Amino acid sequence: MRALVADARRPALAGRFDAVLVDAPCSGLGTLRRHPEVRWRRGPEDITRLAALQREILDGVAPLVRPGGTLVYAVCTLMEEENEDVIRGFLAAWPRFAVDDPSRGVEGRVREALTGDGFLRTLPHRDDLDGFFVARLRAGT
Ligand SMILES: C[S@@+](CC[C@H](N)C(=O)[O-])C[C@H]1O[C@@H](n2cnc3c(N)ncnc32)[C@H](O)[C@@H]1O
* CATH number, domain with residue 69: 3.40.50.150
Q: Name the pLDDT band for 69 (thresholds 50, 70, 90).
A: very high
Q: Name the pLDDT band for 89 (thresholds 50, 70, 90).
A: very high
Domain extent, residue 67, equals 18-139
**What mean pLDDT do residues 41-54 have?**
96
Q: Name the pLDDT band for 42 (thresholds 50, 70, 90).
A: very high
- CA 95 to CA 102: how far, in whole Å? 18
In the chain, how many domains are there?
1
Residue nearest to atom 3 of ligand 1 (CA): 23
What pLDDT is stored for residue 21 in this prediction?
98
- CA 81 to CA 68: how far, in whole Å? 27
Q: Look at residue 2 and tell me if it is in a domain.
A: no
Burial of residue 95 (CB within 10 Å: 0-12, 13-18, 19+) is exposed
Nearest atom within ligand 1 for CA of residue 8: 20
- CA 32 to CA 84: how far, in whole Å? 20
| Average pLDDT across the chain, whole number | 95
Least confident of 47-61, 75-89, 98-112, 117-131: 98-112
For the cut 90, the answer to whether the pLDDT of residue 121 exceeds it is yes
Q: Look at residue 7 and tell me if it is in a domain.
A: no
Q: Look at residue 77 and tell me if it is in a domain.
A: yes
- CA 98 to CA 138: how far, in whole Å? 5
Residue nearest to atom 7 of ligand 1 (CA): 23
